């Protein structure tokens, strides 16, 4: 009986896969063909379809019987859902490295990575010697405004002691619906003072557009060299807000008289296709940005639009072996249109597009590769499993600007950038701190109100331990990009002087 239920269930799945495309189609009047009118080719096609249906049935029958035997006779009792999820993952692993199944346990984290926003207090945390420590407050977040600083110890969350509390559990307790509150008992690192804070959660938007250093107000400064007017913008991923935030940064640089820009896409794994298109569109006025083509779709070229284009200054794009997908779309587009030179090393080589399909009414999801994209010149970007170093894939730096960093230097670069992302000492504006207070459980309410909770806040990405003052590090790839921009300045000035 049980086995029959398995077979019946799998037959339903089979029919869904076989005829699923027709469910959303407009119903059509069937063409009536008599047996006498049917051609040999029609009969062969019908026979072929029948054979395929039989093959589907047989394959799913084998699968259902296997599942039945495992569930009934395996030496230990097994979880049916885990078996099914493992089977789904096994199917997707046969396709490519980028198609996968997102389980209900993973769906919230996946949505956060895609949407780049979540409900919380805006804080990065870690475990250190069994204690829950603050890595860095988020600029402008509820935690930042409450006066939390790097190194502070969170002793309790809503009355629960954090000693021995798993990091994932702590994160779950701190996150929540915007407008709700969380109560923290905090031991401040600088003063040794303990206080209780009631902090209202807000929508925290992960910041993907970063500068080189922070200003006095903790905001990012995008002018790398104020004297030479060289700007610097780093994109950590491509989220829904990346293009708009980049546009705002470019407007600020334009107002400050920028004469050259470094666009840093190193370690950027990609993100949303639309975000990449919008970012590229900020730099080119016309022409193709990218084209995509899938098995069931025609080729779709995407063209640039003139309004909103930032022109009049040279651009150098920094990439490395970890720049992938959307990063490659942008760097290839700017390179093909001669809008920028590419500096660094060959990129990862991911030229495929994944579509996210909701399953179980949104409780889980399927990320499936549905299309491939080509750069404006029509060349390939994707690195296939059998691709060689001599094959065409990825985005290559411009001639004379290839500079591959050894692993040791790459590690120094990561650490240096990480340290710049963190706020080791928060300014905590608007918070009056009574350092001499003898009240060990001083209580403070820093609720911002329900309307404020709806407004997104910008967040530096990642979660890293506060580091010692960074040692002097020379970013050779950045230096090479700046040298190019200064050369272009000299050439432009020479032309002006000769007139």
Task: Give the end-to-end CA distance of the chain in Å, rounded to a whole number.
Answer: 92
Query: In this structure, is the dihedral angle defined by the CA atoms of residues 70, 76, 81 and 86, taken in order, positive or negative?
Result: negative
What are the catalytic residues? 325, 336, 350
Structure tokens given for 324: 């992938």
DSSP letter for 198, please. E
Cα 268 to Cα 167, 257, 376, distances in angstroms: 25, 27, 21
CATH 3.90.226.10 fits 219-419, yes or no: yes
User: What is the C-alpha separation between 234 and 39, in angstroms, rounded?
Assistant: 64
What pLDDT is recorded for position 22?
28
What pLDDT is recorded for position 235?
97
What pLDDT is recorded for position 418?
80
Which one, of 163, 162, 164, lies nearest residue 173 by Cα?
Answer: 162
Q: How many helices (H) and strands (E) does the chain have?
A: 12, 23
What does the CA dihedral 182, 187, 193, 196 come to, rounded to 10 degrees?
10
Q: What is the CB neighbour count within 10 angstroms for residue 436?
A: 7
Helical residues (DSSP H) of 293-421, grouped into ranges: 326-336, 407-421
Per 3-state DSSP, the chain is made up of helix, strand and coil in percentages (nearest 5) of 35, 25, 45
Where are the domains positioned within the chain?
Answer: 1-16+43-78, 116-206+423-467, 219-419
Structure tokens given for 288: 């193709």
Place of tokens 């063409």: 31
Are 71 and 341 within 8 A, CB to CB?
no
Which one, of 353, 308, 478, 359, lies nearest residue 409 by Cα?
Answer: 478
What pLDDT is recorded for position 116?
60
Which one, of 356, 368, 354, lies nearest residue 326 by Cα?
Answer: 354
* CB-count exposure of residue 58 (10 Å: 0-12, 13-18, 19+): exposed
User: What is the C-alpha separation between 180 and 449, in angstroms, rounded?
Assistant: 10
Q: What is the CB neighbour count within 10 angstroms for residue 364?
A: 19
* Class of 116-206+423-467 in CATH: mainly beta
363-374 pLDDT per residue, tens: 899 999 988 999
Beta bridge mates, 342: 317
C-alpha 259 chain-centroid distance: 30
Taking 50 as the pLDDT cut, the residues of the chain under it are: 1-2, 4-38, 426-454, 459-470
Which residues touch 87 (CB under 8 Å, ≥6 apart)? 63, 67
What residue ranges in 299-351 does DSSP mark as E strands? 300-303, 315-319, 340-344
């Amino acid at each position: 009986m049980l086995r029959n239920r398995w077979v019946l269930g799998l037959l339903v799945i089979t029919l869904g896969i076989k005829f699923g495309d027709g469910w959303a189609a407009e119903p059509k009047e069937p063409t009536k063909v008599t047996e006498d009118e049917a051609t040999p080719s029609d009969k062969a096609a019908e026979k072929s379809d029948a054979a395929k249906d039989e093959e589907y049935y047989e394959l799913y029958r084998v699968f259902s019987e296997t599942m039945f035997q495992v569930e009934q006779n395996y030496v230990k009792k097994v979880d049916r859902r885990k078996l099914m999820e493992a089977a789904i993952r096994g199917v997707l692993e046969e396709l490519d490295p980028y198609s996968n199944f997102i389980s209900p346990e993973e769906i919230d984290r996946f949505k956060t990575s895609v949407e780049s926003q979540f409900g919380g207090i805006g804080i990065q945390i870690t475990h250190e010697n069994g204690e829950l420590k603050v890595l860095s407050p988020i600029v402008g977040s509820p935690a930042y405004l409450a006066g939390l600083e790097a190194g502070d110890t969170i002793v309790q969350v809503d009355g629960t002691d954090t000693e021995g509390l798993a990091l994932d559990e702590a994160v779950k307790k701190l996150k929540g619906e915007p407008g709700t509150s969380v109560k923290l008992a905090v031991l401040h690192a600088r003063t040794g003072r303990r206080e209780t804070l009631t902090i209202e959660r807000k929508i925290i938007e992960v910041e993907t557009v970063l500068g080189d250093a922070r200003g006095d107000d903790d905001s990012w400064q995008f002018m790398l060299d104020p004297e030479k007017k060289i700007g610097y913008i780093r994109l950590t991923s491509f989220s829904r807000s990346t293009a708009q935030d980049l546009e705002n940064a470019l407007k600020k640089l334009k107002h400050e008289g920028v004469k050259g820009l470094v666009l840093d896409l190193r370690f950027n794994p990609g993100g949303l296709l639309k975000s990449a298109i919008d970012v590229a569109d900020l730099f080119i006025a016309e022409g193709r940005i990218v084209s995509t083509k899938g098995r069931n779709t025609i080729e779709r070229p995407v063209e640039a639009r003139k309004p909103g284009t930032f022109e009049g200054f040279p651009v150098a794009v920094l990439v490395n072996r970890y720049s992938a997908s959307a990063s490659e779309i942008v760097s290839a587009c700017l390179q093909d249109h001669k809008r920028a030179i590419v500096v660094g090393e060959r990129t990862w080589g991911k030229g495929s597009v994944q579509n996210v399909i909701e399953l179980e009414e949104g409780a889980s999801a399927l990320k499936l590769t549905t299309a491939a994209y080509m750069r404006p010149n029509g060349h390939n970007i994707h690195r296939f499993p059998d691709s060689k170093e001599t094959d065409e894939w990825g985005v290559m730096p411009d001639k004379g600007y290839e500079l591959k960093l050894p692993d040791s230097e790459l590690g120094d670069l990561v650490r240096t950038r990480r340290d710049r992302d963190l706020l080791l000492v928060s300014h905590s504006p608007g918070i009056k701190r009574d350092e001499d207070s003898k009240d060990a459980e001083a209580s403070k309410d820093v609720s911002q109100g329900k309307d404020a909770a709806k407004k997104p806040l910008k967040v530096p990405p990642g979660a890293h331990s506060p580091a010692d003052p960074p040692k002097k590090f020379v970013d050779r790839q950045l230096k090479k990009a700046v040298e190019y921009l200064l050369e272009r300045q000299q050439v432009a000035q020479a032309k002006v002087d000769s007139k």
